[in-house]
A and B are shown apart, each in its own frame.
Chain A
Amino acid sequence: MAEPLLQIKNLEKVYPNGMRALKGVSFDVKPGEFLVVIGLSGSGKSTMLRCLNHLHDPTSGSIVFKNEDVTHLEGKKARDVRRRMAMIFQHFNLINRHTVLSNVLMGNLSRTNSLSSIMGMFSSEAKEKALGYLDLVGIREKAYVRADQLSGGQQQRVAIARALAQEPEILLADEPVASLDPATCHTVMDYLEKVNKELGITIICNLHFLSLVRRYATRVIALKEGNMVYDGDPKNIDEAWFEKIYGEGAREVHVN
């Protein structure tokens, strides 16, 4: 039994406006997992990912990352945890006016001092690696194109390359295919799977479509109104579980 990579205990998040987004969520993440988080919009999935890498501060509970308590961090230490837990987003969050290569190089920011990064001085080694990551996601030929010239699926692949440039141990993916068309969904998910299997990077991914969950996840947890209601094998989510997670009358939509 491998040692857990992440141990999350009783994680709670209350927003300043009083909204309780997470009401005590606990689970472990083992190295090499492709963990998918499902649940309705507003169930706390995005909040949970953002608590893990401290884009939001958790209110209470604890997060242990490789036997190190990382629940409340600030400044340099928080930035270091963010470097080790890369993140990709529903809307890609690339810098539109920069080239693809420049966007990937931004994955090195936490290890480059402010002044040289602002002067655009990244080591040639970093550039080589960045091109390598672009190769891995199959868009090396777009390296010198501006990011906003790319299609949605291509932009998400650049975002994956940027995340890899951080040399992370975990990749957080917040609805990575929710703003893509169904055909492109699988391409992006396939690259995530490749990252998971070939580079051994643990993935925690928020998803909407159950068909994608069954195809890619090695394990699923489900959130409902800030509580965890399911933790287990994706194949065991049957009709009854589906209704419990998504509510009565919900119907499954398939992505092919």
Chain B
Amino acid sequence: MWKARVFDAVGIAYLFLIALVVVFQPDDMAMLNLGRNTLLAILGVAIGFGFSFGFNGIGLKTLGEAIFEPPHKKALAEPIPWYKTFWGIQLATLFVVTCVAGVQVTQVSLYELTDPDGFRGAKKILMSLFNPEMSILPRGVLAIVETIFIAFMATVIAVPIAFVLSFLCAKNIMGGTPFGFGVYMFLRTVLNVTRSIEPLIWAIIFTVWVGIGPFAGMLGLMLHSIASLAKQYSEFIECVEDGPIEGITATGAGPLQVVWFAVVPQIVLPYISFTIYRWDINVRMATIIGLVGGGGIGTMLIQYQGQAMWPEVGTLALLIVIAVWAMDTASAYIREAIK
């Protein structure tokens, strides 16, 4: 039950810290004092653990327990309406407090939203966007073609690499031996880190490496695609049926043959489907990646936006909408058809 205890302790520490902020109204200096605030957070967690064990001691079912209790206990739980349970009140308190804090932190302000001056500015930009400047259309079309090719190349190069990696990242293939499990853990970690860094950041790194342009954008997207596809592919491998694997193993086939004849046929369709989807995602991402110098229509867009040439921006935005919509629709139809 340590998961439940940690969950409750963190939740209570969170409420404790918010209560401190509300009571003492700290100024900016106090908020930036990381050392002391960390100590307060640790104190909060300690208090949280105290409460958590305390509630448990007097037989109250906390939110953490409600979430993490094993399924056989969940099945036995009496049907009580949530607002009459301790964990229900705990959940509601956390939610309401977070909503109130969220309004403060994001500086929600109806006054700013209804300010006539600001509204007029936004309206002007919107009107310009809807009056696109068609003279840049030919260059815009070339740029969107470049964007689609960036996405295509990133996908095409990523697929075979991800295909091989996906087997090395699948627990049912690699889990058998300690060495295999080591490789599995190592690759999983590397891929998770790679994936958690946005393609935008990778593209910035590559623009420094290979210079501004489509090549940098393609490399950034490719790296992210490898990590994402390998993860998705390996999840398919992990849920293949065992029967065919047993059947092929029993013929005396070698390990590579077992993978090729028993595993691959089961994963081909989801692989194709996810690959098309990834290309589709890459087209959308490629437009964004252009903003940091990754080439394609994004690079063009950021140039006009910087000069506040809104009708031109409108033209490019229209092109992006059409391209993304077309890719999205085509990929949806294809994926539906080959299912």
- A126: min CB distance to chain B, Å: 13
Q: Which of B249, B256, B268 contacts A97 (CB 8 A)?
A: B268
| Interface flags, B196-216, vs A, CB<8A=1, else 0 | 000000000000000000000
Complex CA gap A55/B258 in Å reads 13
B206-261 interface with A by 8 A CB criterion: 243-244, 246-254, 256-257, 260-261
Residue B313 CB within 8 A of the other chain: no
Residues on the A chain within 8 Å of B248, using CB: 93, 95, 106, 109
| Interface flags, B261-277, vs A, CB<8A=1, else 0 | 11001101000000000
- Contacts A55-B249, A106-B248 known; A93 to B254 CB distance under 8 Å? no
Residues on the B chain within 8 Å of A117, using CB: 257, 260-261
A42-95 interface with B by 8 A CB criterion: 53, 55, 79-83, 86-87, 89, 91-95
Complex CA gap A156/B191 in Å reads 42
- B186: min CB distance to chain A, Å: 25
Q: Which of B250, B252, B261 contacts A95 (CB 8 A)?
A: B261
B265 with A106: CB separation less than 8 A = no
B257 with A118: CB separation less than 8 A = yes
Residues on the B chain within 8 Å of A94, using CB: 244, 247
Complex CA gap A80/B252 in Å reads 6
- A86: min CB distance to chain B, Å: 7
Residue A20 CB within 8 A of the other chain: no
A118 with B260: CB separation less than 8 A = yes
- B3: min CB distance to chain A, Å: 24
B253 with A93: CB separation less than 8 A = no
Nearest to B256 among chain A residues (CB) is A114
B243 with A109: CB separation less than 8 A = no
A82 with B249: CB separation less than 8 A = yes
Q: Which of A81, A83, A93, A118 contacts B246 (CB 8 A)?
A: A93
Nearest to A87 among chain B residues (CB) is B250
- A26: min CB distance to chain B, Å: 24
- Contacts A96-B265, A97-B265, A98-B265 known; A110 to B246 CB distance under 8 Å? no
Kindly name the residue among B248, B250, B253, B260 whose own CB sees the greatest number of chain A CB atoms within 10 A.
B250
| Interface flags, A106-127, vs B, CB<8A=1, else 0 | 1101100010011000000000
- A102: min CB distance to chain B, Å: 9
B253 with A79: CB separation less than 8 A = yes
Number of chain A residues whose Cβ lies closer than 8 Å to a Cβ of chain B: 28
A86 with B261: CB separation less than 8 A = no
Number of chain B residues whose Cβ lies closer than 8 Å to a Cβ of chain A: 19
B250 with A110: CB separation less than 8 A = no
B262 with A89: CB separation less than 8 A = no
Residue A162 CB within 8 A of the other chain: yes
Complex CA gap A81/B250 in Å reads 9
Residue A166 CB within 8 A of the other chain: yes
A110 with B265: CB separation less than 8 A = no
Complex CA gap A55/B247 in Å reads 10
Residues on the A chain within 8 Å of B249, using CB: 55, 82
Nearest to A79 among chain B residues (CB) is B252
A118 with B256: CB separation less than 8 A = yes
A93 with B265: CB separation less than 8 A = no
Residues on the B chain within 8 Å of A107, using CB: 251
B257 with A82: CB separation less than 8 A = no
Residues on the B chain within 8 Å of A110, using CB: 251-254
B243 with A89: CB separation less than 8 A = yes
Kindly name the residue among B243, B248, B252, B261 whose own CB sees the greatest number of chain A CB atoms within 10 A.
B252
| Interface flags, B146-182, vs A, CB<8A=1, else 0 | 0000000000000000000000000000000000000
**Can you give 15 A-B contacts (C-beta < 8 A)?**
A55-B246, A82-B249, A83-B251, A89-B246, A89-B247, A92-B243, A94-B244, A95-B261, A96-B265, A97-B268, A107-B251, A109-B251, A109-B257, A162-B251, A166-B251
If A82-B251, A114-B257, A118-B260 are given as contacts, then 18 extra A-B residue pairs at C-beta distance below 8 Å, sorted by A number, are A55-B246, A55-B250, A82-B252, A83-B252, A89-B250, A93-B246, A93-B248, A93-B250, A94-B247, A95-B248, A95-B262, A97-B268, A98-B265, A106-B253, A109-B253, A110-B253, A110-B254, A114-B260
Residues of A within 8 A of B (CB): 53, 55, 79-83, 86-87, 89, 91-98, 106-107, 109-110, 114, 117-118, 159, 162, 166
Give 3 nearest A-B pairs by CB, closest first. Answer: A93-B247, A110-B252, A83-B252
